[in-house]
Amino acid sequence: MQNEETNTADQTKTPSLTSSRQRQVVIRIALFAFIAAVMFVLTHRIETLTYQNYVRDVKLTSTVRLIEVRERLQSTLFERIMDLNELAAVIGENPQINQTEFNLKAVDFMLENPEVRSLVAAPNQIATMVFPRSEQKGILGVDYRVRRALNNQIEAALRADEGLINGPVNLATGGRGLILSKPVYDKTSPGPGHPWGMLSVVLDYDKLMNKVGFPEFETKFNMLISQVQPTGPFSQQVLFGDIAVLDQNPIRLSLNLPFGQWQLAATPEGGWPLHRPNHITRWALRSLAMGACLLALWYVMRLFDTRRRAEKQLSVGIEALDHGFVMFDADRRLVAFNNKYKQLAGGSGMVRVGARYEDIVKANLRKKLIPDAIGREEEWYEEWSKRLHIKSSDKEQILADGRLIRAYDRPMEDGSVVGLRIDITDLKKAQIAAEAANKAKTDFMGVLSHELRTPLTVILGHAKLAKNMRSLPSYRKLMAEIEEHPDLKDDIQPKLDVMTDQVAKMMETLERSGNHLFTLISEILDFAKVDSGTLSMDMADTNAARIAEPVIDQMRPMIEEKGLTLEVSTPDLALNADDKRIQQILINLIGNATKFTDEGKITLDVSQTEESVLFRVTDSGIGIPEEHLGRVFEAFHQVDNSSGRKYGGTGLGLAISRDIARAHGGDLIATSVEGQGSSFILSLPLPSAQPDDDTGEDEIEAMVA
């Protein structure tokens, strides 16, 4: 049923997660589309502005060039008009001028103005004088007054005393011409000048345009020179170009001529540019830049999502802890914590992101939430705050509700601090109970050992007496009585000897078993002392030979009885040690070597290094399996722990021996090859060396290797 509910919850949760992810995808796509649109609009706006600047630059450059052309055109036409005005003034001074005189004046005029094709004089608006006649002989006798449009234009010019410009017109002699006309007034009559007629100059249009430089400019621009308010009858009052130029947003410049209002308009060949040069390349580069920006944005958003997921996982992870988690930055401000920490340290209500460590602790002190600090708040705070400046800090603290917590704080490289607050109330209670049980066990083992050793000592003493019953007074008294009866001696003496020998053997077996039991009891007592920390050492100056020789004398009979050979090398090396305890170690090592060796030899070798004296006990016995070698010094450990094991013992001898060695500042290590034998090395520091748990270990390992 529970599994079904879990599956239902998972199925309900899965669509919710899927829907949330879909919303995130849609929002992200919309965001990307919006950003892309904004980037496109901005890019388009930038391109538009740069295009407008570019067009302005083109127009400015074109305007400068047009101004040059206009200045040349104005200068040329102005010179011709001024010359025409001078000739008109001369005729006005001589209104009775004839053809010959007119020809002379015309020749001079044309020599000074090579663009002039012909000159025409029209007294009373009738063309009567032409030079050269071959150019304009068809105009002789033409009455301008008959032509209404021309007459109106002439009448207006006469009233305003202004000239006229007409053209270009196709000339009968070929080519095109530009006609400049100037009213002439008779200045010989009294009063204001009387209109004499019109003086016209026909300019070669193509030469004039070449002189100004229009053809060269025309290859790059579409140009128009036209009258602003045309009043002339000739053509459409366009001097140059096509009137359609005005529909192409041209550059417009005014022409300052004495004859009417004129303008110069121009656009580049093909019209104004629709784009800047290489705009496709720039758009491609901008597109790449926008793509790179979007890609960078996607990458940043992915990093943000990754960071957000990591932060969420971290948050979930620290919330899943059974302990309080807290993290402060380099300024000791709270940056992360879980609810467990808030429960343990949030009694003041100050636990929140951004809160200062000092404020949290001091708020708890003010509210008397830390029993240990009551009455000594400042001193307690100073002691507590020092923990944050050391490499590793552990401290126990009692809370107001009686709970006990352990505070672990670790400073980081960047100055921040990570801490754990572990509720050890139950653990502390269990520890106290375990320590009490362990003390009770140790006390029981000590009392039991003492209580067992006392009757065992009596038993062993009586066993020794019984084994040597022939030395007892009662036995000697019995033997004396037997001696008094020679007739019974031969019959009783052999039987008594047999019984005595049998009792001696029984007592010898009893003594051996008693000694073994005594050894076991002694090991248990020593282990109890080691476990309780009450094993004492009687340190004194001694030497290796003095320690080893009694052990050799004691162990040699047992070794030889088993048919083994004992090799000993014990130089006289100075030591500061407890003789009895070191002998206890050697007896244990040699006894184990004898127990586990059936043939071969046992070696005791004593040597010295720079800092230690080494006792090496080596045998050729069964060896120790590799998987058991690392555990031989564990209490109660047996390589063969089956109920029918061949070799007995409590498994405490090596554990006690290593503890005794380390209590001397030395160590005890073992090496072995299964089937080939074992080697145990006891290291003891030289009298000048300081005790250290690792003293001689490197040297021992070097010798073993």
Task: Please give the DSSP secondary-structure letter assigned to residue 193.
Answer: P
Task: Identify the weakest region by mean pLDDT among 154-163, 173-182, 281-290, 628-637.
Answer: 154-163
- H or E stretch covering 180: strand 176-186
Residue 26 in any domain: the answer is no
In angstroms, the CA 244 to CA 222 distance is 10
Query: 41: which 2 tokens?
Result: 């609009």
Q: Number of C-alpha atoms within 13 angstroms, CB side, residue 437?
A: 6
Residues ≥6 apart with Cβ < 8 Å to 651: 634, 635, 636, 637, 638
DSSP-derived 3-state class of residue 332 = coil
Q: Number of C-alpha atoms within 13 angstroms, CB side, residue 44?
A: 6
| pLDDT score for 389 | 59
Asked if the bond preceding 691 is cis, omega within 30° of 0, the reply is no
Domain endpoint, select from 421, 455, 473: 421
pLDDT-based confidence at residue 54 (cuts at 50, 70, 90): confident
Q: Please state the φ and ψ torsions of residue 256, each to the nearest 5 degrees.
A: -85, 85
Q: Are residues 236 and 370 in the same domain?
A: no
Residue 136 predicted with pLDDT over 50: yes
In angstroms, the CA 426 to CA 223 distance is 103
| pLDDT score for 695 | 42
Judged on CB neighbours under 10 Å (0-12, 13-18, 19+), 327 is middle
Domain count, the chain: 4
Task: Please give the DSSP secondary-structure letter assigned to residue 575.
Answer: E
Residue 308 in any domain: the answer is no
Q: Are residues 649 and 546 in the same domain?
A: yes
| pLDDT score for 615 | 92
Q: Which residue has the tokens 């980037």?
A: 39
Residue 6 in any domain: the answer is no
Express as a percent the part of the chain with pLDDT over 90: 3
| pLDDT score for 518 | 66
Task: Please give the DSSP secondary-structure letter assigned to residue 337.
Answer: E
Q: Are residues 159 and 179 in the same domain?
A: yes
Residues facing 543 on adjacent strands: 574
Are 55 and 272 within 8 A, CB to CB? yes
Q: Are residues 463 and 548 in the same domain?
A: no
Domain endpoint, select from 470, 494, 528: 528
Q: What is the pLDDT of residues 162-181, one digit of tens each?
A: 777 777 778 777 788 888 88
In angstroms, the CA 492 to CA 494 distance is 6
Mean pLDDT, rounded, for 13-29: 72
Residue 481 in any domain: the answer is yes
Question: Which domain CATH number covers 672?
Answer: 3.30.565.10
Task: Identify the weakest region by mean pLDDT among 30-34, 305-309, 356-360, 645-649.
Answer: 645-649
| pLDDT score for 618 | 92
Are 183 and 198 within 8 A, CB to CB? yes
Q: Are residues 619 and 651 in the same domain?
A: yes
| pLDDT score for 147 | 66
Task: Identify the weakest region by mean pLDDT among 113-117, 172-176, 197-201, 675-679.
Answer: 172-176
Mean pLDDT, rounded, for 566-572: 87
Cβ atoms within 10 Å, residue 400: 13
In angstroms, the CA 478 to CA 499 distance is 14
Q: What is the pLDDT of residues 318-357, one digit of tens each?
A: 888 888 888 888 888 888 888 888 777 766 677 888 888 7
DSSP 107-132: HHHHHH-TTEEEEEEEETTB--EEES
pLDDT-based confidence at residue 527 (cuts at 50, 70, 90): low
Cα–Cα nearest to 680, from 688, 689, 671, 667:
671
Task: Identify the weakest region by mean pLDDT among 331-345, 426-440, 578-592.
Answer: 426-440
Residue 192 in any domain: the answer is yes
Q: Are residues 465 and 551 in the same domain?
A: no
| pLDDT score for 232 | 45
Which has more pLDDT, 422 or 385? 422
Strand order in the sheet with 176-186: 129-131, 116-123, 194-204, 176-186, 164-170
Residue 150 in any domain: the answer is yes
Q: Are residues 690 and 610 in the same domain?
A: yes
| pLDDT score for 303 | 87
Which has more pLDDT, 401 or 79? 79
What average pLDDT does the structure give for the chain?
Answer: 78
Residue 15 predicted with pLDDT over 70: no
Residue 613 predicted with pLDDT over 80: yes
Strand order in the sheet with 677-685: 565-569, 601-608, 612-619, 677-685, 667-673
Total residues belonging to the chain: 705
Euclidean distance between the first and the last CA atom of the chain, given in angstroms as a whole number: 63
Range of the domain at 172: 64-268
pLDDT-based confidence at residue 445 (cuts at 50, 70, 90): low
DSSP 581-603: HHHHHHHHHHHHHHHT-SSSEEE
3-state DSSP helix/strand/coil % of the chain, to nearest 5: 55, 20, 25
Q: Are residues 444 and 384 in the same domain?
A: no
Residue 90 in any domain: the answer is yes
Q: Are residues 437 and 547 in the same domain?
A: no
Q: Are residues 191 and 79 in the same domain?
A: yes
Q: What is the pLDDT of residues 199-238, one digit of tens each?
A: 888 888 888 888 887 777 777 888 888 877 655 444 457 7
| pLDDT score for 447 | 67
Residues ≥6 apart with Cβ < 8 Å to 446: 525, 528, 529, 532
CB neighbour burial string for 265-304, b if at least 16 within 10 angstroms, e if fewer: bbbbeeeeeeebeebeebeeebeeebeeeeeeeeeeeeee
CA distances, 317 to each of 314, 336, 339, 418 (Å)? 5, 12, 12, 15
In angstroms, the CA 228 to CA 651 distance is 128
Residue 46 predicted with pLDDT over 80: yes
In angstroms, the CA 517 to CA 527 distance is 15
Task: Identify the weakest region by mean pLDDT among 45-54, 395-404, 494-503.
Answer: 395-404
pLDDT-based confidence at residue 469 (cuts at 50, 70, 90): confident
Residue 616 predicted with pLDDT over 90: yes
Cα–Cα nearest to 148, from 236, 234, 233, 231:
233
Query: 6: which 2 tokens?
Result: 């879990």
Q: What sign does the dihedral 611-612-613-614 (CA atoms) show?
A: negative
Residues ≥6 apart with Cβ < 8 Å to 547: 575, 577, 579, 582, 583, 586
Judged on CB neighbours under 10 Å (0-12, 13-18, 19+), 553 is exposed
Q: Which residue has the tokens 């589309």?
A: 33
Judged on CB neighbours under 10 Å (0-12, 13-18, 19+), 615 is buried
C-alpha dihedral over 252, 256, 257, 262, to 10 degrees? 20
DSSP-derived 3-state class of residue 29 = helix
Which has more pLDDT, 601 or 630? 601
Residue 463 in any domain: the answer is yes
β-pairing verdict for 251-256 and 393-398: unpaired
Q: What angle do CA 96, 99, 104 make, to 5 degrees?
A: 100
Q: Are residues 461 and 591 in the same domain?
A: no
Task: Identify the weakest region by mean pLDDT among 229-238, 567-576, 592-601.
Answer: 229-238
Task: Identify the weakest region by mean pLDDT among 253-262, 598-607, 687-696.
Answer: 687-696
Q: Are residues 255 and 369 in the same domain?
A: no
Q: Which residue has the tokens 């004495």?
A: 258
Domain endpoint, select from 363, 390, 421: 421
| pLDDT score for 646 | 52
Residue 605 predicted with pLDDT over 60: yes
DSSP 344-380: HH-TTS--STT-BHHHHHHHHHHTT--GGGTT-HHHH
Q: What is the pLDDT of residues 27-41, one digit of tens each?
A: 888 888 888 888 888
In angstroms, the CA 205 to CA 264 distance is 16
